[in-house]
Amino acid sequence: MNRADPDTIKIENQLDAAHTISRVKGDQLSEELYERLKEKYKSHLKISIRKRDLQMLNSDDNKNKAVWIVINEKIGKNEDSLKSTLTTSFTNTLRSLNIKA
């Protein structure tokens, strides 16, 4: 995700300010403002991540590899770990079917 995005920075600054005001004032209105901005920030991040992922998928010549990069990022695994897991799973499935790998 590009954290240098001006919209993201603007919302982060607003969120930080609202959090500070909410902590200092401690009133319900300040807390509600902070919660609304927090939801706006989360929504903005989700949209930004989707746009980035789609841009990568659409611009990459190797679509399969691009898809796996996005999947690995989402599940927090690196490529080698995922390959190992899939290979082990596939081998175990073949063994359970009495097929030589």
Q: What is the pLDDT of residue 40?
A: 94
Do 21 and 50 sit in the same domain of this protein?
Answer: yes
Same-domain pairing of 79 and 91: yes
The answer on 42 and 8 residing in a single domain is yes
Alpha helices in the chain (DSSP H): 6-25, 28-59, 63-75, 79-96
pLDDT at 98: 67
Instruction: Return the pLDDT at 43.
Output: 93
Digitized pLDDT (tens) for each residue of the chain, 101 residues in all: 445 688 889 999 999 999 999 999 999 999 999 999 999 999 999 998 889 888 888 888 888 888 888 888 888 765 566 566 666 666 666 666 766 55
**What total number of domains does the chain contain?**
2
Q: Please report the pLDDT score of residue 80 as a whole number.
A: 61
Identify the pLDDT of residue 2: 45
- In 3-state terms, what secondary structure has residue 5? coil
| Domain extent for 98 | 62-101
d(CA 20, CA 14): 10
Q: Are residues 7 and 53 both part of a single domain?
A: yes
